[in-house]
Amino acid sequence: MQASENSNDDFLFIDDSDEDEILDCDGKETWRVLIVDDDPEIHSVTQLALSDLVVLGRRLEYLHAYSGQDACTLIEQHDDIVLVLLDVVMETDDAGLNVVKHIRENLQRQDIRIVLRTGQPGYAPEESVIKEYDINDYKTKTELTRRKLVTTVYAAIRSYQQIATVSENRKGLEQIVVGAANLLELHSMTEYCQGVLQQLTKLIGQDVECLFCARGQGIIDNADDLSFYIIAQQGFSETLTKQKLDTFNDEPVSQQVKYCFTQKKHQSDELSHYFYLARGGYRAVIYLALQEPLTETQQQLMEVFLTNAAVGYENVHLFQKLSNAAYKDWLTSLPNRLEFVRLLDLFAKNNCDNEVAALIDLNHFSDVNDGLGQDIGNLLLAAVSQRLQNLGPGCKVARVGADVFGIIGTTESLTPDILSQLFEQPFVAGEQKLPINACFGFCTKEHASVNGVQVLNQINIALNLAKKQRIEHFAYYNPEMEDATLWRLNMIRELRTDFAENRLELWYQPQLALDTGKVIGAEALLRWRTADGNFISPAVFIPLAEYSGLIVDIGGWVVNQACQQINDLSQQHFSDITISVNVSIPQFRRGNFVDTVMKAIDKHKVNASKLELEITENILMDDPQVIIDALIQLKSIGISIALDDFGTGFSSLSYLQKLPLDRLKVDRTFIKDIDQEGQSVIAETIINLGKKMNLKVIAEGIEEVEQQERLVELGCDEVQGFYYAKPMPKNDFLHFLKNNKPH
Ligand code: C2E
Ligand code: MG
Ligand code: MG
């Protein structure tokens, strides 16, 4: 292309710019422009031509290079060059194009604008090169009048600025995306809000002060009203966090935050912003105090950021709800067992020596549930939970089981007395007023293990003991209890193997008629001789067998042995002898006891009337009807039933009358001092009661002749005791029978 209006060299002197853009400029900031040309004159004329130019409020500042090589060096040294006015042909024909490649490919500077100039039109680069290297303009020097140069430079710098804005935006957005990903990992509300403020500060890139405010309910522990709280802060004091907004000493700011909540939209002036965050019903306000106003880009980015932050804010709330579901009891909203274990963990690890942890087990809760329905049961639990929470803010309450509550507090606020007082008044559940008792297990710091699960176990041990105690309904854990548990487990294991290896024996203690002195029967009593030859008392191992359920199998074996004994005795012509067998509650509850007895009688073909079952009053405590039904069934085939240890239990007479009894056994505690003045009242009462109920009465534990004499006076029917004979092995009993000379 040929120059149309100007001749070769004076093209730049022609001033056709009657409307140069001279704008206000503060003169501080400039655009740095690199002029690259091997002709020094071009440098000066270019500078002259652009001398007054102000682009977007800034003047131009120049760097000069006279070869492609120089240009590359300068560009590397100055990273603020926005525009290169570049001669194509210099030291080589393509020196200019090499500079372009260096900028775009080696330095990866896509933002620098490039205007190519050449004196010789023949050296114009290919169009593809212009596109590939993002060259703004290509002009022959002859084309470049002053006006055109100004326009070109102006357009190029504007384009630079747009690219810079886009790139700033991109960086900001990248920051938001990365920030959002980081925020996603924060599940606790305060951490999340703190994170939002940190990201926000980073995005703005200046020192700011900001607050994250929201209603405290559901976020701050014990914030039960709708007050606004400072959930997180940046640039203020750490002590503000989790405090009510009203404690913030800047009334206008507090007012403005609240106003923003009610207006439901951002409130801003130049240096302070109140951003309104809302999503899915979760709302917050971020207060932001700036040093410098936000740029337009920052404002746009802020919008994107806040939208993201609101999504995250809702997520954290939802996450919190989920974790509440995992760690809270749905019925009472108290921490659940999992959370209580975590609290116990903290209890175990902290240094507060005056803390104590406890479990509270409601007695007979299942009766309420079964009798009055689950709804009333639920109301009762809610009422108990409410009362426990009244113990004070220092106490942490949890529901760890259906009818078991956990509590951690100070030794002064959490004592057996204080807990007992809570249960003195009945609980209101719907229309009902329910008196409820409870057992308490405690564990003090002194004995607490190092982790929550173990502490829970320790309190449980104490609680179990408390439940078994008759007098006190609480127990404090001590390590010996655990030794006892260990001992118990070992004993049970040993009993199980010894029973399997046939090391249990059934001994017999004779029972005699008082009037004739004739042996009328015997009580079958278990004996356990361990592998090392020691006897372990049934008073010790029977409760363990009951506790472990082993009594079901052992009891079945006893019944069979007794039937065998009845047979053996009748073969030896002692067919009148009745054998009494002791029966425990679990045999009725866990095993099919009626079936076991029927089968034994069938198998040994014995006369059922020669078998007697001894039950205790305690049998009536749990589930009387099941047991009464079973006894009636057994009685119907001729088996007789004796009530053992009579007088030591708690049963009411009305229940006793429902039992199909044949005999009452007066416990030996009432026989002990019977021969002493005024000490026979209970025995006498029992004997008379037996008579009235038409039952035979047998007294146990007779050791002295005087006791026997008194019993004769009282009209007792039968006796059993060391005075006559101690329990003895099967063969000895046969021998005893053969030698029995009636008194
Ligand atoms: P129990 O049924 O009240 O048995 C009577 C206990 O009193 C026996 O203790 C017997 O040896 C003891 N005794 C009898 N006469 C006298 C006496 O004159 N003075 C003293 N001091 N004691 C006397 P033992 O054999 O140690 O049995 C303890 C308990 O173990 C029994 O009390 C019974 O409840 C239970 N038991 C024993 N064998 C069995 C069994 O096969 N099944 C079940 N479920 N329990 C059993
Ligand atoms: Mg007995
Ligand atoms: Mg007894």
> Rounded to the nearest 5°, which phi and psi values hold at 654?
-65, -35
Structure token pair of residue 457: 């176990």
Contacts of 486 (CB under 8 A, 6+ apart): none
Q: Say whether both 561 and 442 belong to one domain.
A: no
Nearest ligand by distance to the CA of 645: 3
Q: Are 538 and 469 within one domain?
A: no
Per-residue model confidence as pLDDT tens digits over 646-693: 877 655 666 778 889 999 999 999 999 999 888 888 899 889 989 988
**In the β-sheet with 228-234, what is the strand arrangement from edge to edge?**
228-234, 209-215, 282-289, 272-279, 267-268
**Alpha carbons 62 and 43: distance in angstroms, whole number:** 9
At residue 31, the pLDDT reads 94
- Judgement on whether residues 423 and 298 belong to the same structural domain of the protein: no
The number of domains in the chain is 4
* Contact 91 CB / ligand 1 (< 6 Å): no
Tokens 């309420």 belong to 368
In a domain, 276, yes or no: yes
pLDDT tops 90 at residue 240:
no
Residues 6+ apart with CB under 8 A from 437: 362, 363, 364, 423, 473
321 alpha carbon, distance to own chain's centre: 13
330 lines ligand 1 (CB under 6 A): no
177 lies in some domain:
no
Shared domain check, 421 and 357: yes
The CATH number of residue 43's host domain is 3.40.50.2300
Q: Are strands 58-65 and 474-476 parallel, antiparallel or unpaired?
A: unpaired
Which whole number is the average pLDDT over 501-516?
96
pLDDT band at 26, cuts 50/70/90? low
Whether 56 and 86 map to the same domain: the answer is: yes
Ligand 3 centroid, distance to 665 Cα (angstroms): 7
Asked whether residue 633 is assigned to any structural domain, the reply reads yes
Q: Are residues 315 and 378 in the same domain?
A: no
Given 117, 133, 168, the domain boundary residue is 168
Ligand 2 centroid, distance to 688 Cα (angstroms): 21
User: The pTM is what?
Assistant: 0.52
Q: Is 583 in the pocket of ligand 1 (CB under 6 A)?
A: yes
Q: What is the mean pLDDT of residues 23-28?
A: 54
Question: How would you label 712-722 residue by residue, b for 16+ Cβ within 10 Å and e otherwise?
Answer: eebebbbbbbe
Question: The tokens 């487990």 sit on which residue?
Answer: 489
3-state secondary structure of 69: helix
Q: Is 558 in the pocket of ligand 1 (CB under 6 A)?
A: yes
Do 543 and 686 lie in one domain? The reply is yes
Atom of ligand 1 nearest to the CA of 665: 3
- Check whether residue 55 and residue 199 sit in a common domain: no
Q: Give the model confidence (pLDDT) of 357-367 as tens digits.
A: 999 999 989 88
**What's the 484 CA to ligand 3 centre distance in angstroms?**
26
The mean pLDDT of the chain is: 88
| pLDDT for 456 beyond 90 | yes
Residues 139 and 49: their CA atoms lie apart, in Å, by 16
Write the pLDDT tens digit of every residue in 264-297. 999 998 899 999 999 988 899 999 999 999 888 8
Rounded mean pLDDT of 688-716? 94
Question: Which distant-in-sequence residues (6+ apart) come within 8 Å of 257 by Cβ?
Answer: 211, 213, 228, 245, 274, 285, 287
Answer yes or no: are the C-beta atoms of 274 and 256 closer than 8 Å: yes
Evaluate whether residue 671 is within a structural domain. Answer: yes
pLDDT band at 225 (very low <50, low <70, confident <90, very high): low
Q: Tokens 């175990």 correspond to what residue?
A: 348
Task: Say what the pLDDT of residue 7 is.
Answer: 39
Pairwise CA distance, residues 164 & 167, whole Å = 5
Rounded Cα distance, 616 and 598, in Å: 21
Q: For the residues 37-43, what does the mean pLDDT come to?
A: 91
Please state the atom number of ligand 1 nearest to the C-alpha of residue 526.
Answer: 38
pLDDT at 623: 66
| Beta carbons of 307 and 300 less than 8 angstroms apart | no
| Per-residue tokens: 16 | 């056709």
Ligand number, closest to the Cα atom of 526: 1
- The CATH number assigned to the domain holding 423 equals 3.30.70.270
Distance 582 CA to ligand 2 centre (A): 5
387 vs 389: CA distance, rounded Å: 5
- Tens of pLDDT along 440-449? 999 999 999 9
**Which pLDDT does position 3 carry in this prediction?**
36
Q: What mean pLDDT do residues 407-412 have? A: 95
What is the domain range of residue 680? Answer: 511-739
| Closest listed ligand to the CA of 561 | 1
Q: To which residue do tokens 């020691």 refer?
A: 534
Tokens 């054998």 label which residue? 579
> Is 141 a domain residue?
yes
Domain end marker among 300, 327, 354 = 327
Decide which of 163 and 542 is more confident.
Answer: 542
- Confidence (pLDDT) at 648: 74
Give strand pairing partners of 439.
361
Per-residue confidence band for 408, with pLDDT thresholds at 50, 70 and 90: very high
Neighbours of 683 (CB within 10 A): 25
Q: How far is the CA of 523 from the centre of ligand 2 (A)?
A: 7
Q: Do residues 199 and 154 share a domain?
A: no
Task: Report how far Cα 257 is from the mean position of its chain's Cα atoms.
Answer: 35
Among 196, 202, 164, residue whose Cα is nearest residue 81: 164
Q: Which residues of 259-289 are buried (b: 16+ CB within 10 A; e: fewer)?
A: ebbeeeebbbeeebbbbbbebeebbbbbbbb
Q: What are 103-160's pLDDT values in tens digits?
A: 999 999 988 999 988 877 666 777 777 788 788 778 777 777 788 888 889 999 999 9
Indicate the range of 460-474, 555-569, 601-615 predicted with least confidence. 460-474
Per-residue 3-state assignment (H helix, E strand, C coil) for 405-461: EEEEEECCCCCHHHHHHHCCCCEEECCEEECCCEEEEEEECCCCCCCHHHHHHHHHH
Only one residue has tokens 């749905």, namely 330
In a domain, 501, yes or no: no
Mean pLDDT over residues 488-512, rounded? Answer: 95
Pull the structure tokens for residue 148. Answer: 């055109």
Q: Is 709 within a domain?
A: yes
Residue 632 region, left (φ>0) first, then alpha (ψ -120 to 50), else beta?
alpha
Mean pLDDT in residue range 476-484: 89
CATH of the domain at 308: 3.30.450.40
pLDDT score at 68 = 94
Examine the domain organization and report whether 274 and 377 are in the same domain.
no
Q: Which residue has a Cα nearest atom 33 of ligand 1? A: 582
Which residue, by CA, sits nearest to atom 46 of ligand 1? Answer: 582
Percent above pLDDT 70 for the chain: 93
* pLDDT band of 223, cuts 50, 70, 90: low
The reply to whether 390 and 295 lie within a common domain is: no
Residues 359 and 313 in one domain: no
* Residue where one domain finishes, among candidates 327, 345, 365: 327
Tell me the DSSP string of 92-129: STTHHHHHHHIIIIIS---SSEEEEEES-GGGPPPHHH
Strand ranges of the sheet holding 396-401, from the earlier edge strand across to the other edge: 396-401, 404-410, 355-362, 438-444, 474-476
pLDDT band, residue 21 (cuts 50/70/90) = very low
Structure tokens at 347: 């209890």
Strand runs labelled E in 119-183: 137-140
Q: What spacing in Å lies between the alpha carbon of 525 and ligand 2's midpoint?
A: 8
Is the CB of 546 inside a 6 Å radius of any atom of ligand 1? no
Q: Residue 13: is its pLDDT beyond 50?
A: no
CA–CA distances in Å: residue 364 to residues 94, 584, 663: 99, 21, 31
Distance CA 712, CA 27 (A): 130
Kindly tell me if the per-residue pLDDT of 218 is higher than 90.
no
Using the 8-state DSSP alphabet, how is residue 247 labeled? G
Q: Give the C-alpha separation, 389 to 458, whole Å.
A: 23
Percentage of the chain beyond pLDDT 90 is 55
d(CA 483, CA 122): 104
User: What phi and psi values does residue 736 have, to the nearest 5 degrees?
Assistant: -60, -45
Q: Of 26 and 106, which is predicted with more confidence?
A: 106
- Give the β-pairing of 535-536 and 519-529: antiparallel
The answer as to whether 539 is a domain residue is yes
Best mutation site among 505, 582, 707 for ligand 1 pocket (most ligand atoms within 8 Å of CB): 582
Euclidean distance between CA atoms 232 and 4, whole angstroms: 69
